[in-house]
Structure 1
Amino acid sequence: MELYQLRTFVTVAQQGHLTQAAELLHLSQPAVTAQIKALEEQFGLALFERYPGGVQLTEAGKLLMPDAEQILAQARDLLHKGKALQGEPKGKVKIGTIGVPARLRLGAWLSLLRDTFPLITVQTTHGISVSILNEVRKKSLDGGFYLGRNPYQNVMTLPLDEIGFCIALPVSMAAEYQNADWPKLGEAPWLGLSQYTSLADISQELWRSHNLAPKVVGEFDEEATLLELIKSGVGIGILAERTAQRFASDGSIVLWRGGEVVTRAPLQFIYSGDRVSDPMMHKLCATLKTIWNLG
C-alpha cells in the first residue's frame, strides 16, 4: 500500500466521481481506476459502488476512510516538520562541566537546548575549572563552565552567577573553632587544594586577605572529596554555600560562625574568542541566558 493510493482513495471518496478526482490529482481516469483497483485487491474488499452518476463508498470503504485520512494527515505533518528542520542548526558540541550539575542548572539548560534546537547534540566532559579552561583554549571543548576569574583575553566569558563559600569544620573540631577568630582558624589543619582547581586560588586569596599561613593537610581537587574529608575529621576547608548548608543541616559538618560567607567567586560559561561570531555559540549563550534569567 502506497501513500499515493490512499490519496487517490480519499480524493475519489470526497469527489464522488472518478473524472473529477483525476483532474484534482493530475492523473488520467484509467490511472485513478487502476489505483483504486489495486487497493481493493490488497484489502480484498470493494471500496466503491459504481453507478451512472459516479461512485460512492461501500460500508467497508466508509469504515476505512477515517484511517486513510489520518494517515495522510500524519504524512503531511511529517513533511512539514522535515521542511522546518532544513534551516535548523545542527551538529555536536562538547561542553566541559564542573562541580555539581544542579549548581550549573545543567539539566534545565540541556532540556531547553534540545527543545529549541533539536538537531544540536551535546556531549559533556566533567573536570575541574583549570582543565576545562585549558581544553577550551586548545579548542578541544566548544565551551565549558568555569569558577573563578578568567586570566585570558582570548577566552570569552558569559557571567552566570556568584558562588559564595563558607568554612566547614568537622564535628570533632566544632567546639574549638566554630566561633574562633581568624588567627585561631590559622592554627587549624586545613585541607589543601590542587593547583589545577579554581578553589586553590580562592583559598589562597582568602588566606592572604586574613594574613594566614595554615598547616595544609594533603592536596585535593574535588568538592566531594573535601566534604568527605571534613566529615571524617581530617581538617577544615571551604565549601560552596549551598553544599555547606545542606550538609550542616543534617549535622554531618559544622559551619564556622553559622555559615558566614567568607568569599565569593564568579561562575561563568567560557568559550574561545574565535567563536564570537559563531551562530552555534550564539545559540548556546542565548539558551543559557534564558535559564539564568540574564535577559
Structure 2
Amino acid sequence: MEIYQLRTFVAVAQQGHLTQAAELLHLSQPAVTAQIKALEEELGMALFERFPGGVQLTEGGKAFLPDAEHILAVSRDMLYRAKAMVAEPKGKVRIGTVGVAARLRIGPWLALLRQKCPLITVQTTQGISGAVLNDVRKKTLDGGFYFGRNPFQNVNSLPLSELGFCVALPLNLAEQLQQADWKTLGKAPWLGLSQFMSLSGITAELWRTHNIAPKRVGEFDDEATLAELVKAGLGVSLLAERTARRFEAEGSIALWRGGEVAITAPLQFIYSADRQSDPMLALLLDSLREIWPQAEA
C-alpha cells in the first residue's frame, strides 16, 4: 500500500463522501474511487459501504482507520523534522484575512515575520470567515484569520483575542430602540447576513440566546457594507465594538444601550491539523504569539 492511498482513505472517512474528499485532495472522483478500490483489494476487505448520500466505514474500515491515521502522522512528522534540519526556512505562505487589517495586526505581524525569516514570502487573500475556513480545510490556504467558534476537528486554532460586538441602530430608529428590551429589538428590521460570514453565526447565537427571530432585510457579506446600510437607515446590525463606537462618535449611527457589548466571539488563527508539526507553521504561530501576547498556547 502507498501513503497516497492511505491519505485518500482517511479523507473519504472524514468527509463521508467521495466527491467532497476528491475536492479536498484536488483529485477527480474516479481517481479517489480507484485508490480506495486498490487499497481494498490489497487488504482483502471492504473499507466502505456505499449508499445514495455518500459512504460510511465498514467495521473493517473502522478498525483500519486509527492505523492509517497513525502512519500518516508519522510520515508527516518525519518530513517536517527533515525540513527543520536543513537551511533557513523559505517559500511562499498563503494567509486568509478577514475584516479590517488593523484589527488583525497584519502590519506588525508580517513585519516581524520578515525580520525573522527574510526568505519567506507571504501572500494574503481577503475574504469572509467561512470562505477562509473552507480554504484552510482544503489546504489552498496555509492558514487564516477566523471570527467565531471553529467547528472542525481537522482544523486547529490559535485563539488571539475575544472581540465584543454592539447592536448598531439607524438614527431613525434610535429614539425607539436605544433602551429597548430584546423583545422589542426582535421586532425591528435586521440586516440579513451571508451564511459564510462569521457574523452570521454570531448574530444567530445572539438571537437564540434572547429567543428572538427578527425580520431580515437583504443578505450581505461585508462589515463595511453593513455599517453603510445601518447609516442609511435600512436596518439594525451587529458591528464589532471598535467599528461601532467610531461611527457613533461621528454621529452617523446610534448604539443600543450606549454601546453595551451584546455578545463576544473569539478571533482565531486557523490552520490544518495536519500541519501541526510543520516548522513553517511553527514560525507563523510563534511570531503571532509575539504580536498577540495574550494568545493561548
TM-score in same-fold range (> 0.5): yes
Aligned partner of 1:168 in structure 2 is 168
TM-score (norm 2): 0.70
- Structure-1 residue corresponding to 2:258: 258
Q: Which residue in the other structure is 1:126 paired with?
A: 126
Secondary structure of the corresponding residue to residue 260 of structure 2: coil
Instruction: List per-residue Cα deviations over 1:69-127 (Å, max 9, x = no partner).
Output: xxxxxxxxxxxxxxxxx832100000000000011000110010001110000000000
Give distance in 1, aligned partners of 2:108 and 2:247.
24
- 1:180-259 map, 5 Å: 180-259=180-259
Does structure 1 residue 269 correspond to structure 2 residue 269? Answer: yes
- Aligned match of 2:113: 113
Identity %: 66
TM-score normalised by L of structure 1:
0.70
Separation in 1, partners of 2:246, 2:105: 17
Structure 1: any 5+ residue segments left out of the alignment? 1-85
User: Partner of 1:138 in structure 2?
Assistant: 138
Q: Which residue of 1 aligns with 2:5?
A: none
Partner amino acid, structure 2, of 1:92: K
Q: Distance in 1 between matches of 2:186 and 2:148?
A: 23
Show the counterpart of 2:157: 157
- The answer to whether the Cα contact below 8 Å between 2:136 and 2:270 also exists between their aligned partners in 1 is yes
- Tell me how far 1:293 sits from its aligned partner: 1.0
Residue identity in the other structure for 1:238: L
2:285 matched residue in structure 1: 285
- 1:173-198 superposed Cα distances (whole Å, 9 cap, x missing partner): 11111111111111111001111111
How far the C-alpha of 1:281 sits from its partner, in A, is 0.2
| Aligned match of 1:96 | 96
Distance in 2 between the 1:88 and 1:242 partners? 39
Amino acid at match of 1:105: R
Question: In 1, distance between residues paired with 2:156 and 2:202?
Answer: 21
Q: What amino acid maps onto 2:110 in structure 1?
A: L
Where does structure 2 lack aligned partners over 5 or more consecutive residues?
A: 1-85
CA distance in 2, matches of 1:224, 1:294: 27
| 8 Å CA contact 2:158, 2:269 repeated in 1 | yes
Q: CA deviation at 1:172?
A: 1.1
CA distance in 2, matches of 1:87, 1:141: 24
SS at structure 2 position matched to 1:87: coil
Structure 1 or 2, whichever has the larger Rg, is 1
CA separation in 2, counterparts of 1:225 and 1:143?
Answer: 25
- Corresponding letter in the other structure for 1:286: D
Counterpart CA distance in 2 for 1:105 and 1:283 is: 16
Count of residue pairs brought into register by the alignment: 210
SS in 1 for 2:239: strand
Instruction: Give 1:184's aligned amino acid.
Output: T
Once residues 113 and 232 of structure 2 are traced to their aligned partners in structure 1, the CA distance between those partners, rounded to angstroms, is 40
CA distances 1:256-282 after superposition (whole Å, capped 9, x unpaired): 000000101110000001101100000
